[in-house]
Copies of this chain bind each other. A is one copy, B any other.
Amino acid sequence: MSEELSIANWFVTYSGTAFEVIGTLAFAISGLLEAARKKLDIVGMAMVTFLAAFGGGTLRDVLLDRRPFFWVENEIWIWAVLVLSALALLFVRTSHLEPTRRATAWPDAIGLGIFTAGGTQIALQAGMPAIVAVIMGVITAVFGGVLRDVVVNEIPRAFVDHQPYSAIAFAGGWVVVLLSAIGASAFVSVVVGAVVITGLRFLAIIFSWRLPTWKL
């Protein structure tokens, strides 16, 4: 392998991991904020943070009957959630909640892209039909937040806020499916899918896009 190629490889591998870390942290922080808002104790906070970060991928793996789970293979992440929860208990104040939520919308968009695209690809490799693979991708990225909200007794934000979030994930899942169908490698499909989803989500935040509403 030429030196440039191995540098490119190194860059892609590590930036991929970096984006995964960014996305997972953003999802975990959404759990922390929800726990703080509800004044959960340290145990509740750790559990809601854990659900927000890993609930979606875990549900996908249960549905696809895949083992081991991400957090079983990467136990360091469990420790990260516990440390984050303890730090939050010490340092988070009410005045931090709303600014943090707004600030994490951007890394959260990265998580939406990378986990939808990755989840769709995993489901395709498990032999799922296209529409099922796209749904598995959406579940991977969105159901951590759904479980987070259900467990603290809120209607899932993803179901009621009329923002294009899961809808963008759904559209982007099809990019992964189509690229796979025309013979692109798993790697290219996931990267392009993730970039499309994250890009659309950035646009949705910047321009305050809204989903159509009921004319009840």
Please give the residue numbers on chain A whose beta carbons come within 8 Å of chain B beta carbons, in ascending order. Answer: 35-36, 38-45, 47-48, 58, 62-63, 65, 67, 69, 71-72, 75, 78-79, 89, 92-94, 128-129, 131-132, 135, 146, 150-156, 158-162, 165-167, 170, 211-216
Contacts and interface: CB of A to CB of B under 8 A. Distances in A.
A92 B47 CA distance: 33
Given A75-B129, A150-B151, A42 B212 contact: yes
B43 A92 contact: no
A154 B153 contact: yes
7 contacts: A41-B211, A44-B158, A45-B159, A78-B131, A92-B214, A93-B215, A153-B155
A78 B133 CA distance: 12
Contacts of A63: 58, 62, 69
A153 B156 CA distance: 9
B150 A48 contact: no
A211 B43 contact: yes
Contacts of A41: 159-162, 211, 213
Contacts of A155: 38, 40, 44, 151-153
A212 B156 contact: no
Contacts of A38: 155, 160
Given A36-B214, A155-B38, A78 B167 contact: no
Contact of A132 (B36, B78, B135, B162): B78
A120 to B, nearest CB: 14
A129 B154 CA distance: 33
